[in-house]
Structure 1
């Protein structure tokens, strides 16, 4: 006797939307755009299905089923290959993964939530350091004072602008934190708490893999400590202006613990003057 599992509500509509999206993207690309010969007997506008399958290194039958909205499983790695073969831009790639109900294993440095208005707000907060982070500690945008607070972020590759990575591997960042062991324990506990809802997501697993290579991280991670978010006063030793005592505040941009604006306000007059000198130094370097 054959049993059929009930379909998840909305999944059929998503599959049909995904099929139509793939077909439309395939039909808009010319063979010349992807280095394929046009040939004399091309009736299909754009690429053929077998050409997309070839470019993506997947089976022709499997890709055909995908365009037919069949109920098949598709991995993030295959979606990544399809996005490249179909020359999807950032918005289209995000739409592809959303329709497939998958998490992008290689998100770009830009975040659709960091609007021009939000970037303007970051600038207006100067000389107070501020940045936009996601729950994975990726630094998505920052103002000039934050860019010089712990290290020179402009010299860091976008894919490495992650507070966890920098706190465990970047010597300038580590030197700027007054109590590094305590900061490591707190950050790791917050990271573990945030990761609980993302255990199977490739981007989170990739970050955890990178952190595992840091000598200090493995021992702290093994403690299984968890802590929630909290605002507090932090002490930094900035290489340009000296000690800074700053009150840390998270301003949530969506459902907690999602994207947030991280802000630092001086806790005393000496720190306020230090932030003003730090901004002057950043402007001089520009």
Structure 2
């Protein structure tokens, strides 16, 4: 999409949502449906001129925090807010706050429960937020009662992962490169940066691989395990993102022929 088209769409979006809002104290007949620009600007704590320029598709450099105040004043839903930030070409500083990182989406839980093969869900910190019995049986030392549930901590800090994963070094490098792609969405998140600092300090391998600046999309493929009780196991891995919570992911392991 061309930049001028984005500005036009942003202006049309802001105007349409402004006109849907009811004024605080309607009095008599109003030429303008919904809120006036001055009223919206007052609610958002921004200048009326700046608000007008956005609607007129002028070249306005809107800061993320100003856009956040505007989104709140417009009473946008999460999807509408994300759409507005995309049109403005800005990253929402509060995007993580709108997602409840403590609970897995119901859609993800439903899928994990319905699948017989190993399946688990990861939140934006790569903590396991849902898993089934098959996954708990496969990932000894990671999933289950009494274990920490962060996949990165398990792979890079728990010696058990090196036993379970025969091609550990290659797999660990790939996981780190996939994590870096997700990390770019949470650069200023204190909890994410605490996790990164811990991994760099406690795992020399992680620190070295992180400095290589490799970024990869999360892809499927053959995954081989050396299970202490069941021996060699092979799976095809598939990863999906719930449409209602794209900051989470569903991982399914289908037994390979």
Instruction: Tell me what 2:244 maps to.
Output: none
Alignment of 1:18-29 (within 5 A): 18-29=10-21
Say what the alpha-carbon RMSD is for the aligned residues: 4.7
Corresponding residue to 1:126 among 116, 137, 141: 116
Structure 1 unaligned spans of 5+: 1-8, 32-36, 268-286
The alpha carbon displacement at 1:25 in A equals 1.2
Matched, 1:167 2:159: no
Instruction: Tell me what 2:253 maps to.
Output: 264
Contact 1:233/1:247 (<8 A) preserved: yes
Corresponding residue to 1:179 among 162, 169, 172: 162
CA distance in 1, matches of 2:134, 2:70: 37
Contact 2:176/2:210 (<8 A) preserved: no
Over 3 Å counting, the alpha-carbon distance change for 1:130 and 1:13 in structure 2 is same
What SS does structure 1 have at the residue aligned with 2:224? Answer: strand
Over 3 Å counting, the alpha-carbon distance change for 1:253 and 1:206 in structure 2 is same
Instruction: Tell me what 1:51 maps to.
Output: 39
CA distance in 2, matches of 1:185, 1:95: 34
What SS does structure 1 have at the residue aligned with 2:188? Answer: helix
Over 3 Å counting, the alpha-carbon distance change for 1:151 and 1:251 in structure 2 is closer
Matched, 1:211 2:195: yes
Structure 2 unaligned spans of 5+: 242-246
Tell me the matched-pair count.
223
Instruction: Tell me what 2:86 maps to.
Output: 98
Instruction: Tell me what 1:233 maps to.
Output: 224
Over 3 Å counting, the alpha-carbon distance change for 1:187 and 1:45 in structure 2 is same
Query: Deviations along 1:146-185, whole A, 9 cap, x unmatched?
Result: 88563469xx9xxxx9x5xx533xx8x9669523995765
Instruction: Tell me what 1:75 maps to.
Output: 63
CA distance in 2, matches of 1:212, 1:132: 16
Q: Output the TM-score relative to the length of structure 2.
A: 0.61
CA distance in 2, matches of 1:212, 1:68: 42
Over 3 Å counting, the alpha-carbon distance change for 1:226 and 1:60 in structure 2 is same
What SS does structure 2 have at the residue aligned with 1:206? Answer: coil
